[in-house]
Chains A and B, each alone.
Chain A
Amino acid sequence: MSEKPQKIQLFHTCLVNEFYPEVGMAVVNVLEHLGIEVNVPLRQTCCGQPAYNTGFQKDAKKAARYTVELLSKTEGPIVIPSGSCTDMIIHQYPILFREDTDFLPEVTAVTKRCYEFTQFLVDVLGVSKLGARLDARAAYHQSCHLLRGLGIKKQPASLLENIENLKIMTIEEKDECCGFGGTFAAKHPDISGSIMQKKIRNIENSKADMVVSCDMGCLMHLEGGLHRKGSTIKLRHIAQVLEAGLQ
């Protein structure tokens, strides 16, 4: 295999930037702990997924073109702490630009450099044990785009297994969607809410005190549902539990 990268570009995603900055910092801390230099392209905005999934492909294309052009100017692997946004860039950008033959090579050059956070740690850096330690009972929610879109399943599992003192709780119907689905959550609250309640029931039944995931979209939705119920179950991005107890 080629040499391990020394430096990465962080595409932090808009959700992390606006709502969960601590997740971005956790990603940075974990990567720096492993000796990786992190660069944050400050002019990044959003990958375009909200518009794309709602059908507004022209508008999504503007965001996508902008993102590709911005990232093209940088070098090295691009790390994204979200299965959903990674899938958007890797799998949907080439579809969006399939007829723009002039621009397509630039798109593919960028998509080839993109990795979801856990994928980067395990597959590229070859690390699954960081030395983290956390006293908690965690239920892992594998988001759909991570699992089915990117086929990432083992990487987060092996990272979690290697956290000292962390008890991994099994949740029923673990492959099932949580009901988020982006704008679907607001457009069809009755359906989305009904799916979410089942997920929450399964989480509660697992006796976990924490839900861990690689996607803040799912977690924001579940957190909102749990908060409404007055639940004390905590929600964490996987970077936050990997950061815990690092020396």
Chain B
Amino acid sequence: MSTFSARVKSVINDNDLQIALSKATTKLSSGREASIASLENADLIRDMARRAKLNILHNLDENLLKFEHRLIDNGVNVHWAEKGTDACEVVIKIAQKRGIKKVAKSKSMVSEEIHLNEALIKAGLQVIETDLGEYIVQLADDRPSHIIAPIMHMTRHRVGEIMHRHLNVPYTDDIKELARYAREKLRSEFLSAEIGITGANFGVVETGTICIVTNEGNARMVTTLPKIHIVIMSLEKLVPTLADLDLMLKILARSATGQKLTSYTTLIHGPKVDEENVGPEEVHVILLDNGRTGIFGSEQAEILGCIRCGACLNICPVYKNIGGHAYGDVYPGPIGSVLTPGLKGLLEWKDLPYASSLCGACKDVCPVRLDIPQMLLSLRKNAIKEKIPFGLKIGMKGFGIITAYPGLYKFIRNIGSLFLRLIGRDGWIKRFPANWLIPTDLLNGWTKVRDFKVPARKSFQDMWIEREKSYE
């Protein structure tokens, strides 16, 4: 796989991407701000929601077992999956046993995480994404770039082109018209799918309820029309009670899009009972770990309280400049920079915790107040135990020693300062020439986009001492 820096290089000058990102993130962020501001007792609700989430995590084993019992009582089939491939296997088996060929999906990040579509297609199944954004991703053979707005990286114009090319419809960039094209095409597909697959936004321990929120209503169709509904839910999605669910719903849509509630909030308790005439005959819930238990005991355990609102992406200066794909995996932005190394291993993903200026905007907007900057710092601490450039290690060791010995500090500073002033022109360095005294690579990272000011001839302390002397 390409490196993080290489991925950044390939997107940073993409004008279309910058326009699309700036429009969408500004709209979502200002929506969030206004709607949280209008929520009475917002701070209290956020605190309570945070507590509910963290409580669940402290007692996860017990809560999961309780949840499983409730599900079974409700007539739901429960499956446990340790890895993503295990979850895919469960789905494939359910389909194959019944000779089913066609499945419809509503948007689910966890299915992206486990590469469900690829696995199902490989097993000979036809998969239809029914969320408009995901549908376009599927048509274009692309990847989602945002956890709630999968095609945030595309301009309207690009969406129009994709539809025109793949669906044989006249080109337009009118959103309503594009949605109409998709709806017409999708409706017939819905009706013939025999399995509906969704994720879950929340699972309520007390009642065994699965909660799914959407704006397009497609999840309603996916969970009611096909004979079988399969829910893939990662372990941390639990909330204790329906009252806690209410707290979450109060902050989720507000933080995500600025809506008070999403257009559709679906609560599922199990398969249809005889006298009903809609709903699936079978409901399956796959409880997926896929690396989560590895995060529980770590300093980043709190990240499992994330309710996937996407607010931290929309406010993040880094995300806003590079978009989701550059992060390299399904969860982009601040949440992804903590989650991906946690789920997949820090060694391979150690660039992500460094992809932040530590500005703290994510922590400010997070509805459950996850301290992402602190988690990034603790990941950085762990990252340097992995392989790091020798020069940097020595440099930082030196830093620790020098800063504790003021005499040495002054001596080294004086040499460095003199050297920098010698290579500077009119007080500025435009690029550092190769030399043996200072780490040119890092410093030329600085001069790549800005000039370097050379140190002052007289330090503050020198000035101070002179002043003190002149008073004597």
Chain A residues packing against B (C-beta within 8 Å)? 12, 16-25, 28, 40, 42-46, 48, 50-63, 65-67, 95, 144-145, 148-149, 175-177, 179-196, 198, 220-221, 223-225, 227-228
The 9 closest A-B pairs by CB, nearest first: A181-B357, A193-B449, A59-B400, A55-B380, A224-B450, A24-B460, A177-B359, A63-B403, A186-B445
Q: Are A20 and B456 in contact (CB under 8 A)?
A: yes
Q: Are A184 and B354 in contact (CB under 8 A)?
A: yes
Report if A18-B380 is in contact (Cβ < 8 Å); known contacts: A176-B317, A224-B450.
no
Shortest CB distance A8–B (Å): 14
Q: How many A-B residue pairs have CB under 8 A?
A: 193
Partner of A53, one of B358, B406, B443: B358
Q: Are B448 and A57 in contact (CB under 8 A)?
A: no
Report if A24-B463 is in contact (Cβ < 8 Å); known contacts: A188-B354, A194-B321, A228-B450.
yes
Q: Are B360 and A60 in contact (CB under 8 A)?
A: no
Chain B residues within 8 Å of A192, by CB = 357, 449
Chain B residues within 8 Å of A189, by CB = 445-446, 448-449
Chain B residues within 8 Å of A228, by CB = 430, 449-451
Partner of A187, one of B397, B442, B450: B442
Binds A, one of B4-12, B57-65, B202-210, B243-251: B4-12
Q: Are A195 and B12 in contact (CB under 8 A)?
A: no
Q: Which residue of B lies closest to A200 (CB)?
A: B450
Chain B residues within 8 Å of A20, by CB = 456, 460
In angstroms, Cα B445 to Cα A180, docked, is 12
Q: Are B318 and A195 in contact (CB under 8 A)?
A: yes
Shortest CB distance A128–B (Å): 26
In angstroms, Cα B458 to Cα A24, docked, is 12
Chain A residues within 8 Å of B264, by CB = none
Partner of B451, one of A188, A194, A224: A224
Chain B residues within 8 Å of A181, by CB = 356-359
Chain A residues within 8 Å of B321, by CB = 191, 194-195, 198
Q: Does B329 contact A (CB under 8 A)?
A: no
Q: Are B460 and A186 in contact (CB under 8 A)?
A: no
Contact mask B353-393 → A, CB, 8 Å, 1/0?
Answer: 11111111101100000000010010111111000000010
Give residues of chain B (446-465) contacting chain A, Cβ–Cβ below 8 Å. Answer: 446, 448-453, 455-456, 458-465
Partner of A50, one of B399, B404, B446, B453: B399
Chain A residues within 8 Å of B450, by CB = 193, 196, 221, 224-225, 227-228
> Knowing that A21-B458, A225-B449 are A-B contacts, what are 7 other residue pairs whose CB atoms are under 8 Å apart, sorted by A's residue number?
A24-B460, A42-B461, A45-B409, A51-B399, A54-B380, A54-B396, A195-B321
Residue tally, chain B, CB below 8 Å to A: 62
Shortest CB distance A53–B (Å): 6
Contact mask B392-412 → A, CB, 8 Å, 1/0?
Answer: 100011011111101001000
Q: Does B172 contact A (CB under 8 A)?
A: no
Q: Are A18 and B403 in contact (CB under 8 A)?
A: no
Q: Are B404 and A45 in contact (CB under 8 A)?
A: yes
Q: Which residue of A lies closest to B398 (CB)?
A: A59
In angstroms, Cα B355 to Cα A43, docked, is 34
Report if A55-B377 is in contact (Cβ < 8 Å); known contacts: A20-B456, A21-B456, A221-B450.
yes
Chain B residues within 8 Å of A21, by CB = 456, 458-460, 462-463
Shortest CB distance A99–B (Å): 12
Q: Are A55 and B459 in contact (CB under 8 A)?
A: no
Q: Are B363 and A148 in contact (CB under 8 A)?
A: yes
In angstroms, Cα B12 to Cα A190, docked, is 7
Partner of A180, one of B355, B357, B430: B357
Max chain A CB contacts within 10 Å: which of B321, B356, B397?
B321
Max chain A CB contacts within 10 Å: which of B383, B404, B413?
B404
In angstroms, Cα B358 to Cα A55, docked, is 12
Q: Which residue of A lies closest to B465 (CB)?
A: A42
Shortest CB distance A191–B (Å): 6
Q: Are B403 and A194 in contact (CB under 8 A)?
A: no
Report if A18-B384 is in contact (Cβ < 8 Å); known contacts: A53-B358, A66-B404, A187-B445.
no
Chain B residues within 8 Å of A220, by CB = 453
Q: Are A57 and B381 in contact (CB under 8 A)?
A: yes
Q: Which residue of B lies closest to A144 (CB)?
A: B359
Q: Are B377 and A190 in contact (CB under 8 A)?
A: no
Q: Does B266 contact A (CB under 8 A)?
A: no
Q: Are A186 and B446 in contact (CB under 8 A)?
A: yes
In angstroms, Cα B459 to Cα A36, docked, is 23
Report if A148-B361 is in contact (Cβ < 8 Å); known contacts: A48-B403, A190-B9.
yes
Partner of B377, one of A52, A187, A191, A198: A52
